[in-house]
């Protein structure tokens, strides 16, 4: 429900929301045009996602609207669905947005918010930088006064010679002037007026009064009526594709929003409610898709501007929606005159900002594995497919992490038959082990034992044949996964089949029950388990003396 209204912050909330609305307008128009759906889709997305995320979200100062990453992915979804079904493709694309919102609400309902951002940084960095590159490349055609050649990044790069050969220098000049304003404007000025708004006004006026405006490509008429409902549309054969697209779009929105929420927390010294935020984002995207709007997420630029202007509660988000709606519906005729080259310049600036410059600049200082993953994910994102890039990146990164963890944990497996100063045994336990005179093989494991350690455990099993008693010490094991449990079971069964006595030191009842329940032939019995090392060693000595 509503975040608490606080009268003491109302002035800052109104100022923050109004300022965020000024930033939102050019971006909403830019993303709407860039997606191919038109400026209306960007406006509807900014209004609908913004209001529902503000009311039902869990980050009071978060500004939610269409973002660069969401727009890039949505553009790819639209292109693929229209190509497969020209008649219903657009309705299917909006259905994907609705489904993405439903997935986000499910993530929130199942309290998965805290797990959303548990991804290797190299993968996130490569993915976001790849999206930034896509956004920049897709602006080449409008920047030089040409219609998009279609075919995404590959289509644009393939058509590059023809695009350059037909360049419209007037529109290229407008594009360059837009970039100059966005990159060169002093920061002290942008504290009061966003650079995007100055570029929007200045370049639009210049295109009308300082150059020959007849041949300049513009936004055109903007429909400012109430949005119509887009009913869900798909066939049984298209269901699987749409579910996958929606899951990827929903996950990207979650990551984008959670990362921005963390930024908001750092600026306001507060703590957001991640699961509640996912519910708000999901409801916003559901409503946006239902009324033909772009999908949205937490927007870093709008959120930072909002907070820096004094906002502290969700009323800032509501204020932004009201101001944005009044501005759009009151200036629709002026919006129609905005040059597409101007919007291309704004989109390029967004793409440059999305690039993870902090990682790119220090890539040579981090491990070569992380650098390789980052650039591989970036390349796959740009040249192949967004989902393929993330999937391969996560797979490779997790394999490397598991390998490093396994190598580290393999050192925590020791098999000794006499006193070892590295083992955490008391004086009496050491004396008992020495009384075994080399006939007790003591396996010591510690820390989390995952499947990657099973090879190290198997290597130590060769020593079983030379001893009469095997003691497996799990008292310092914090995690025992299924693979290691099976390895321990196999070790115990192998020892017993060779007439060895086996004792297992296990303090955690959960680990004990796992080992017993996984043993189908009931070869591991209750009497094999003891709660202390001393008990295990005493029983081992008694067996040797029998």
3 has a pLDDT exceeding 60: no
> In the chain, how many H helices and how many E strands?
25, 7
Q: For 140-182, what is each residue's pLDDT tens digit? A: 999 999 988 877 889 999 999 999 998 999 999 999 999 999 9
**pLDDT-above-90 percentage for the chain:** 35
Give the pLDDT score at 510: 79
For the chain, the farthest-separated pair of C-alpha atoms sits apart, in whole angstroms, at: 106
Tell me, yes or no, whether 240 lies in a domain.
yes
- Cα–Cα dist 127/133, whole Å: 10
Give the pLDDT score at 278: 96
pTM for the structure as a whole: 0.77
In order, the DSSP letters of 318-331 are HHHHHHHHHHHHHS
Give the pLDDT score at 281: 97
Residue 187 lies in domain: 7-354
Give the pLDDT score at 423: 66
Tell me, yes or no, whether 27 lies in a domain.
yes
Q: Which residue has the higher pLDDT, 459 or 164?
A: 164
83 has a pLDDT exceeding 80: yes
Give the three-state DSSP class for 415.
strand
Strands of the 501-505 sheet, one edge to the other: 414-416, 440-449, 469-480, 501-505, 529-530
Tell me, yes or no, whether 422 lies in a domain.
yes
372-399 average pLDDT score: 86
323 and 444 housed in the same domain: no
Give the pLDDT score at 516: 80
Give the pLDDT score at 519: 67
Give the pLDDT score at 70: 93
Residue 458 backbone zone (phi > 0: left; psi -120 to 50: alpha; other: beta): alpha
Q: How far is C-alpha 183 from the geometric centre of its chain's CA atoms?
A: 28
348 and 426 housed in the same domain: no
Tell me, yes or no, whether 96 lies in a domain.
yes
DSSP 8-class letter at 465 = G
Q: Which two tokens stand for residue 501?
A: 């006595």
292 and 431 housed in the same domain: no
Give the pLDDT score at 110: 93
Are 295 and 100 in contact, with CB atoms under 8 Å apart?
yes
322, 354, 386: which is the final residue of a domain?
A: 354
Tell me, yes or no, whether 372 lies in a domain.
no
74 and 207 housed in the same domain: yes
Cα torsion angle, 123, 126, 132, 133, sign: negative
331, 354, 377: which is the final residue of a domain?
A: 354
427 and 337 housed in the same domain: no
Q: Which residue has the higher pLDDT, 298 or 477?
A: 298
Give the pLDDT score at 406: 67
Give the pLDDT score at 133: 94
Are 320 and 102 in contact, with CB atoms under 8 Å apart?
no
462-467 average pLDDT score: 78
Give the pLDDT score at 412: 59
Q: What is the CA radius of gyration of the chain?
A: 31
Q: What sections of 291-364 are H helices per DSSP?
A: 300-308, 315-330, 332-335, 340-354, 357-361
424 and 305 housed in the same domain: no
416 has a pLDDT exceeding 70: no
The H-or-E segment that residue 15 falls in is: helix 10-35
Task: Work out the mean pLDDT of the chain and round it to a whole number.
Answer: 86
420 has a pLDDT exceeding 60: no
298 and 429 housed in the same domain: no
2 has a pLDDT exceeding 50: no
Q: For 27-51, what is each residue's pLDDT tens digit? A: 999 999 999 899 999 999 999 999 9
210-230 average pLDDT score: 79
Q: How far is C-alpha 76 from the geometric centre of its chain's CA atoms?
A: 18
First to last CA, the chain: 72
302, 320, 354: which is the final residue of a domain?
A: 354
116 and 239 housed in the same domain: yes
263 and 347 housed in the same domain: yes
432 has a pLDDT exceeding 90: no
Tell me, yes or no, whether 361 lies in a domain.
no
Confidence of residue 189 (pLDDT cuts 50, 70, 90): confident
Are 436 and 417 in contact, with CB atoms under 8 Å apart?
yes
User: Which residue carries 């003691």 as its tokens?
Assistant: 471
Q: Which residue has the higher pLDDT, 1 or 283?
A: 283
Tell me, yes or no, whether 370 lies in a domain.
no
Q: For 348-360, what is each residue's pLDDT tens digit? A: 999 999 898 988 8
* CATH classification at residue 478: 3.30.750.24
- In terms of Cα–Cα distance, which of 386, 436, 398, 390 is closest to 545? 436
Give the pLDDT score at 284: 97
Packing angle, helices 89-109 and 239-268, rounded to 10? 50
193 and 324 housed in the same domain: yes
Confidence of residue 4 (pLDDT cuts 50, 70, 90): very low
328 and 438 housed in the same domain: no
Neighbouring CB atoms inside 10 A of 224's CB total: 15
22 and 102 housed in the same domain: yes
Residue 147 backbone zone (phi > 0: left; psi -120 to 50: alpha; other: beta): beta
Q: How many domains does the structure of the chain reveal?
A: 2
Give the pLDDT score at 1: 44
Q: For 470-529, what is each residue's pLDDT tens digit? A: 888 888 888 788 878 888 888 888 888 888 889 999 888 877 887 887 766 667 888 889
192 has a pLDDT exceeding 80: no
**pLDDT-above-70 percentage for the chain:** 93
The H-or-E segment that residue 22 falls in is: helix 10-35
Confidence of residue 187 (pLDDT cuts 50, 70, 90): confident
419 has a pLDDT exceeding 70: no
Bridge partners for 387 per DSSP: none
Tell me, yes or no, whether 403 lies in a domain.
no
219 has a pLDDT exceeding 60: yes
135 phi and psi angles, rounded to 5 deg: -60, -40
1-30 average pLDDT score: 80
């Amino acid at each position: 429900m509503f975040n608490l209204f606080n009268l003491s912050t109302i002035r800052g909330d109104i100022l923050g929301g109004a300022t965020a609305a000024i930033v939102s307008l050019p971006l909403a128009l830019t993303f709407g045009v860039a997606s191919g759906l038109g400026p209306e889709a960007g406006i509807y997305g900014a209004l609908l996602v913004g209001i529902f995320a503000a009311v039902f979200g869990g980050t009071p100062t978060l500004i939610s609207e269409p973002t660069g990453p969401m727009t890039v992915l949505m553009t790819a979804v639209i292109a693929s669905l229209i190509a497969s079904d020209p008649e219903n493709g657009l309705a299917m694309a909006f259905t994907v947005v609705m489904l993405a919102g439903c997935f986000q609400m499910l993530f929130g309902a199942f309290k998965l918010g805290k797990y959303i951002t548990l991804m290797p940084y190299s993968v996130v960095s490569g993915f976001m930088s790849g999206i930034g590159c896509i956004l920049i490349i897709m602006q080449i055609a409008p920047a030089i006064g040409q219609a998009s050649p279609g075919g995404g990044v590959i289509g644009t790069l393939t058509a590059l010679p023809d695009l350059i050969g037909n360049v419209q220098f007037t529109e290229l000049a407008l594009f360059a002037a837009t970039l100059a304003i966005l990159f060169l404007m002093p920061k002290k000025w942008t504290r009061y007026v966003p650079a995007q708004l100055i570029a929007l006004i200045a370049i639009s006026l210049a295109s009308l009064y300082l150059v020959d405006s007849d041949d300049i490509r513009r936004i055109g008429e903007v429909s400012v009526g109430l949005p119509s409902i887009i009913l869900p549309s798909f066939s049984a054969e298209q269901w699987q594709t749409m579910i996958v697209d929606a899951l990827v779009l929903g996950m990207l929105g979650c990551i984008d929003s959670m990362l921005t929420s963390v930024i908001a927390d750092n600026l306001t010294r507060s703590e957001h409610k991640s699961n509640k935020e996912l519910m708000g984002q999901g409801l916003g995207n559901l409503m946006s898709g239902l009324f033909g709007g772009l999908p949205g997420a937490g927007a870093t630029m709008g959120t930072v501007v909002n907070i820096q202007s004094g906002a502290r509660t969700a009323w800032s988000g509501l204020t932004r929606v009201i101001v944005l709606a009044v501005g759009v519906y009151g200036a629709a005729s002026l919006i129609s005159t905005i040059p597409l080259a101007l919007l291309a310049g704004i989109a390029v600036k967004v793409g440059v900002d999305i690039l993870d410059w902090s990682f790119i600049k220090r890539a040579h200082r981090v491990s070569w594995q992380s650098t390789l993953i980052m650039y591989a994910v970036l390349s796959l994102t740009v040249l192949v497919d967004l989902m393929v890039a993330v999937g391969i990146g996560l797979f490779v990164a997790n394999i490397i992490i598991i390998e490093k963890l396994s190598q580290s944990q393999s050192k925590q497996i020791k098999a000794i038959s006499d006193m070892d100063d590295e083992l955490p045994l008391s004086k009496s336990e050491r004396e008992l082990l020495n009384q075994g005179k080399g006939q007790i093989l003591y396996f010591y494991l510690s820390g989390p034992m995952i499947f990657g350690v099973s090879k190290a455990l198997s290597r130590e099993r060769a020593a079983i044949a030379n001893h009469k008693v095997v003691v497996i010490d799990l008292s310092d094991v914090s995690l025992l996964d299924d693979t290691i449990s099976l390895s321990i079971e196999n070790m115990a069964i192998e020892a017993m089949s060779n007439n060895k006595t086996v004792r297992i030191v296990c303090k955690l009842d959960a680990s004990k029950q796992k080992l017993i329940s996984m043993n189908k032939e009931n070869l591991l019995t209750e009497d094999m388990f003891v709660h202390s090392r001393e008990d295990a060693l005493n029983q081992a000595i008694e067996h040797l003396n029998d």
